[in-house]
């Protein structure tokens, strides 16, 4: 079984681009990734494309071959849909394809165009990732769902909104030097606590924004990299995926995320590492409480301990294990179909040393990305390692 190397990465600037189409956004990211890799278009054997709501936001189904056109190739192209974990699953399947020997070069990534819709329409489209029969019909939205999870966490383990506010502050600080981030504004704990309430106890500054953007990576086999002298020091050495019930009502408890635990266990075993070996982390912080539950599910903290990690300085840029040096979904942005690919792009840049926040992890050798769908009914974890 061959290893899988990241030969090139590409991103658009995350933010509001209502005048641009999804094909335009993904084309920009994908061409950038291919050009950085130096891989000629004719060597691309497959395209894996993550997208969640394009059929609703752009009235465009069958998007994958359209995206192949934007890159100038005619290889097989497949769209992956797993809500906010769409691109994470696309990356995982690309890793499996290269490892198996079925292909030596796969272009993978994702895109979402959202800001051309009203806030109400975006909320309604995102809600389709929940259970239509038992949640959507009852008026459930994802801020409401995560509010229930946050209340359950506080009741079971303790913690406060101030603890969570430190996560928002941290991630906004991390986004400041990141040119691809949606927000470049520092915020304070008081601003987070005083922000308008979205779904009690979740305030506006506890939540990620509505975002347009795209991400892309070129993955190649070890053999291809050697034969074609491709400079690709970062490898994806571990991949795992976990699942849980779609509706919150069917879960044993709301304050933990078994899908993350299952995905992490598989990824660690695959890479031959443990949580203690990981130097830097990108987690799916669609809401601040989601970062807490992710860190616990990934095995970095026991249940109830991650709530104060940012406040204690453990997960800040200068902490012992920095979390979301990109700015995370909270401040970098969350174009849902692109996010899982974006996390791998950001971790690759961090480990290579060409990210604006690489100075905080200059000796790092192992990174981890965590991408979740819905209320973590789906989770995908990847372990990345760099040659030093």
- Cα distance between residue 129 and residue 372, in whole Å: 12
Whether 334 is a known active-site residue: answer yes
Alpha carbon of 75 to those of 180, 346, 388: distances in Å?
29, 26, 34
Cis peptide before 259 (omega within 30 of 0): no
Q: Are residues 303 and 293 in contact, defined by beta-carbon separation less than 8 angstroms?
A: no
Sequence length of the chain is 388
**Token digits for 358?**
């690489």
| Phi and psi based region of residue 335 (left: phi greater than 0; alpha: psi -120 to 50; beta: remaining) | beta
**Token digits for 114?**
């959202």
Find all residues with CB under 8 Å of 46, minimum gap 6, and list them.
75, 76, 77, 78, 94, 97, 103, 106, 107
**Token digits for 158?**
């303790």
| Structure-token match 């026991």, residue found | 302
Please classify residue 185 by burial: count the beta carbons closer than 10 Å to its beta carbon, then call 0-12 exposed, 13-18 middle and 19+ buried: exposed
Q: Give helix 258-271 / helix 288-297 axis angle, nearest 10°.
A: 50
Whether 111 is a known active-site residue: answer no
- Cα distance between residue 82 and residue 86, in whole Å: 4
**Token digits for 129?**
């990732």
Q: Which of 166, 284, 334, 355 is catalytic?
A: 334
> What is the separation of C-alpha 201 from the centre of its chain, rounded to a whole number of angstroms?
24
Q: Which of 75, 84, 111, 208 is catalytic?
A: 84
Backbone CA torsion sign across 172, 173, 174, 175: positive
Backbone torsions φ then ψ of 113, nearest 5 degrees: -115, 120
Q: Are residues 166 and 313 in contact, defined by beta-carbon separation less than 8 angstroms?
A: no
Which strands sit side by side in the sheet containing 280-282, from one edge to the other?
77-80, 46-50, 105-112, 213-221, 4-11, 234-243, 378-386, 366-373, 280-282
Q: Are residues 345 and 121 in contact, defined by beta-carbon separation less than 8 angstroms?
A: no
User: Would you name the residues annotated as active-site residues?
Assistant: 84, 334
């Amino acid at each position: 079984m061959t290893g899988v190397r990241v030969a090139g990465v590409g991103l658009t600037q995350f933010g509001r681009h209502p005048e641009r189409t999804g094909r335009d956004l993904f084309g920009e990211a994908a061409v950038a990734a291919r050009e950085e890799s130096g891989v000629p278009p004719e060597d691309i054997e497959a395209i894996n494309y993550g997208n969640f709501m394009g059929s609703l936001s752009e009235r465009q189904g069958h998007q994958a071959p359209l995206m192949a056109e934007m890159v100038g190739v005619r290889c097989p192209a497949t769209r992956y849909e797993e809500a906010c974990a769409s691109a994470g699953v696309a990356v995982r399947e690309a890793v499996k394809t290269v490892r198996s020997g079925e292909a030596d070069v796969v272009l993978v990534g994702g895109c979402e165009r959202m800001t051309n819709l009203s806030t109400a329409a975006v909320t309604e489209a995102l809600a389709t990732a929940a259970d239509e029969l038992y949640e959507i019909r009852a008026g459930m939205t994802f801020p409401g769902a995560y509010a229930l999870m946050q209340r359950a966490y506080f009741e079971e383990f303790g913690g406060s909104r101030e603890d969570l506010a430190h996560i928002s502050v941290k991630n906004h600080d991390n986004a400041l030097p990141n040119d691809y981030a949606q927000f470049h504004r520092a915020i304070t704990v008081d601003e987070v606590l005083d922000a308008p309430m979205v779904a009690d106890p979740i305030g506006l500054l506890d939540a990620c924004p509505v975002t347009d953007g795209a991400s892309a990576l070129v993955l190649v086999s070890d053999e291809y990299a050697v034969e074609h002298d491709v400079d690709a020091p970062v490898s994806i050495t571990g991949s795992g995926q976990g699942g849980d019930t779609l509706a919150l009502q069917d879960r044993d408890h709301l304050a933990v995320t078994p899908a993350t635990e299952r995905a992490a266990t598989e990824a660690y075993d695959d890479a031959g590492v443990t949580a203690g070996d990981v130097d830097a982390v990108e987690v799916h912080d669609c809401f601040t409480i989601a970062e807490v539950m992710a860190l616990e599910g990934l095995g970095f903290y026991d249940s109830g301990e991650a709530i104060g990690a940012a406040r204690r300085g453990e997960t800040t840029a200068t902490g012992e294990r920095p979390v979301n040096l990109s700015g995370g979904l909270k401040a970098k942005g969350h174009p849902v179909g692109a996010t899982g690919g974006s996390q791998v792009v950001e971790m690759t840049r961090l480990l290579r040393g060409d990210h604006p926040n690489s100075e905080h992890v200059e000796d790092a050798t192992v990174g981890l990305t965590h991408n979740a769908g819905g209320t973590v009914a789906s989770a995908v974890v990847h372990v990345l390692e760099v040659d030093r």
